[in-house]
Structure 1
Amino acid sequence: MPSARSRRLRKQRTRRNPTDAWLLWTFFGWLGAHRYYIGDWKKGIAMTVTLGGLGLWSLLDGFFLGRRLRRINSGRL
């Protein structure tokens, strides 16, 4: 069973800055840069290969990025 200290350290490591994520989405969303930043590297690769789903996937991520960041930062992945 993990100790309280290891859980706290893991939570600190997964904390992502929302400003950084939004800036990445704004300028490089079509490449999936925000997905790499928040740890969704498999979806990031898919976005890079499809150029953000030809823009549609990137646009939709704009609606859901805030909620995903809150989940990651609260530790509920």
Structure 2
Amino acid sequence: MPPDARSMMRYDAGKKSPLIAYLLWFFFGLFGAHRFYAGRMGTGLALLALSLIGFATVGAVLLVSLIWVVVDAFLIPGWIRRHNNRLIDSLTQGG
């Protein structure tokens, strides 16, 4: 087999598709799939780690916020009662 034919076969076997890279970017971009596909392992791992840390952080923050909001549901009656009592006091003392 001539060297040119062998090179062409190796090129065809190893070439990447821009369409596949864009599909990976669109659907799995936050996980670095397009970078892994393009052979950029280091930056793919960095993007994957950054995304996982971001999801974990956001998840933790959302969980704390959710707990806070549930606790607030039990505290609201006391807040409103105290506010209304202060309002009554201010209106009766000033009038």
The answer for unaligned runs of 5 or more in structure 2 is 55-95
User: Counterpart in 1 of 2:18?
Assistant: 18
Amino acid at match of 1:10: R
The answer for unaligned runs of 5 or more in structure 1 is 55-77
Give aligned-pair identity as a percent.
33
Note closer, same or farther for the CA distance 1:23–1:15 as it changes in structure 2 (3 Å cut).
same
User: Counterpart in 2 of 1:51?
Assistant: 51
Return the offset for 1:36: 0.8
Q: So what's the TM-score if we normalise by structure 2? A: 0.44
Say which one has the larger Rg: 2
**Any idea what SS the aligned residue of 1:39 has?**
coil
Q: So what's the TM-score if we normalise by structure 1? A: 0.52
The higher-RCO structure (CA 8 Å, 6+ apart) is 1
Count of residues in Structure 1 that have an aligned counterpart in Structure 2: 51
Cα RMSD, aligned residues only: 2.2
